[in-house]
Structure 1
Amino acid sequence: MILVLGSTGKIGRELVPALLDRGARVRALTRDPSRARIDPRAEVAVGDLDAFEPALLDGVERVFVLTSGHGSDPLAQEQAVLKAATGVSHVVKLSTTGVHFGQTDPISLVHAEAERAVREAGPDWTILRPGTFMDNRFAWLHAVRGDGVIRVPEGDPASALVHVRDIAEVAATVLTGDGHAGKTYPLTGGEALTTRQQVEILGDALGRRLTYVEEPEAASRARMLGFGWPASAVDGIFELKRQSAGKEEIVFDTVRELLGRAPLTFADWAREHAASFA
């Protein structure tokens, strides 16, 4: 049995069916099963990571550790799961490439501490460090549906964006296969794209011209705060961007090595989700 945390999130919703298709038995954790859309082949378990119940691990051999950001302390959530995982044989932890590059922004530091906890917990472990998700470009949804002007902070770095399906398939491979214990895998897409190129690719998929505009950081910050984002989260995002400049564009070949195929492209992603932007 494999327990999947974050089963309804960006990665989890792809990971659960990928594991089931490989013949694995899956227990998918969710806080609210009435709202969750989980593959009916999976066993649905109700639980809250802020009050993790060790019984959720009964019969579980492997765990995919991903915290959703709900609750006040994601690190404490992961530590609670690891403390209860005494009978588990293998833990796969989702981290970030920021740790690979030694970044000290708040997001990377939390993941670095969580990685340390995973290594010290006792079970075999594998750590996945994906870069920026293609799904993050859903942040452009309202702009595309509105005036078609995509506003980004000045100096927004080029990025080797990674498709969440590739992350999920790598996770499924690691969770159902052997030879991955003690390994750390950085994950990116197959090409680095500037933000302007991303906007052009999305426009091509939609069959319309989108306008790319760079704006001062202060304007972007004010816009994010206007969305209701906490100031600490906005600060963390900008610090992450500053520290990842020149690093996000580095391409790792891990997806191809582990899956035996090329990573999905941003053009693939844009075509898949074109209807969402219409």
Structure 2
Amino acid sequence: MILVLGSTGKIGRELVPALLDKGARVRALTRDPARARLDPRAEVAACDLDAFDPALLDGVDRVFILTSGHGSDVLAQERAVVKAATGVERLVKLSTTGVHFGQTDPISSIHAAAEQAVREAGPDWTILRPGTFMDNRFAWLPAVRGDGVIRVPESDPASALVHVRDIAEVAATVLTTDGHAGKTYPITGGEALTTRRQVEILGEALGRRLTYVEEPEADARARMLGYGWPASAVDGFFELKRQSAGNEEIVFDTVRELLGRAPLTFAEWAGEHAATFA
């Protein structure tokens, strides 16, 4: 039995069916099973990660650790799960490439501490460190549906964006096959794209021209605060961007090595989601 945290998130919704298709038994955790709409082949269990119930580990031999960010302390949530899971065979932790590059921004720092907890827990472990998700570009949806002007903070770095399906398939492989104990896998897409080029590709998929505009950091901050972002989250975002400049464009071959195929492209992602943006 594989316990999947974050089963209704971007990666979890791809991972649960990928595991089931491989013949694995899956217990998918969610805050609200009635609204989860998960694959009916999975066992769905209610879970509040702020008060993790060790009974959820009954019959479980592998755990996929991904926290959603709900609750007051994400690191405390992951540590609680790891502490309860010391008797399982394998832990697979979803982290970030920021840790790979030694970044000290708030997001990377939390993942680095959680990685250490996983390594010290006792069971075999594997760390997955994906880069920037293609799905993050859903943040452009209001602009695309509005005036078609995509406003991006100045000096936004080029990025080897990764499709969440690739991350999920790598995770499914690591959870269901041997030879991954003690390994850390950085995961990216197959090419680095400037943000301008990403906007062009999305426009091509939609059959319309989108306008790319760089804006000063002060304007971008004001816009994010206007969306209701906490000031700490805005600060963390810009610190992450500063530290990841030059790192996000590095391409790793993990998808090809573990899955035997090329990573999915941003053009493929844009085509898949064109109807959503329309």
After TM superposition, the score normalised by the length of structure 1 is: 1.00
Structure 1 residue aligned with 2:196 = 196
Aligned mates of 2:261, 2:50 — CA distance in 1: 38
Aligned residue identity for 2:141: L
Aligned mates of 2:195, 2:165 — CA distance in 1: 21
1:37: Cα distance to partner? 1.5
Report Cα offsets for 1:175-226 as digits up to 9, x if no partner.
0000000000000000000000000000000000000000000111111111
Structure 2 residue aligned with 1:154 = 154
Q: Which runs of 4+ in 1 moved over 6 A?
A: none
Aligned mates of 2:92, 2:44 — CA distance in 1: 20
Structure 1 residue aligned with 2:89 = 89
Q: Which runs of 5+ in 2 are unaligned?
A: none
1:86: Cα distance to partner? 2.3
Q: Provide the secondary structure at the position in 2 that maps to 1:219.
A: helix
Structure 1 residue aligned with 2:11 = 11
Aligned mates of 1:39, 1:224 — CA distance in 2: 35
1:34: Cα distance to partner? 1.5
> Is 2:241 the partner of 1:241?
yes
Aligned mates of 1:185, 1:139 — CA distance in 2: 27
Q: Which runs of 5+ in 1 are unaligned?
A: none
Structure 1 residue aligned with 2:120 = 120
Aligned residue identity for 2:76: A
> Is 2:114 the partner of 1:110?
no
**For the aligned residues, what is the CA RMSD?**
0.4
Aligned residue identity for 2:150: I
1:143: Cα distance to partner? 0.1
Figure out how many residues of one structure are paired with residues of the other and give that number. 278
Aligned mates of 1:114, 1:82 — CA distance in 2: 9
Structure 1 residue aligned with 2:227 = 227
Aligned mates of 1:147, 1:68 — CA distance in 2: 31
Question: What are the within-5 Å matches in structure 2 for residues 31-42 of structure 1?
Answer: 31-42=31-42
Aligned residue identity for 2:82: L
Report Cα offsets for 1:117-156 as digits up to 9, x if no partner.
0000011000000000000000000000000000000000
Aligned residue identity for 1:65: I
Identity of matched residues, % = 88
Aligned mates of 1:186, 1:86 — CA distance in 2: 25
Structure 2 residue aligned with 1:178 = 178
Aligned mates of 2:194, 2:212 — CA distance in 1: 11
Aligned residue identity for 1:243: Q
Aligned mates of 1:109, 1:87 — CA distance in 2: 27
Aligned mates of 1:170, 1:92 — CA distance in 2: 11
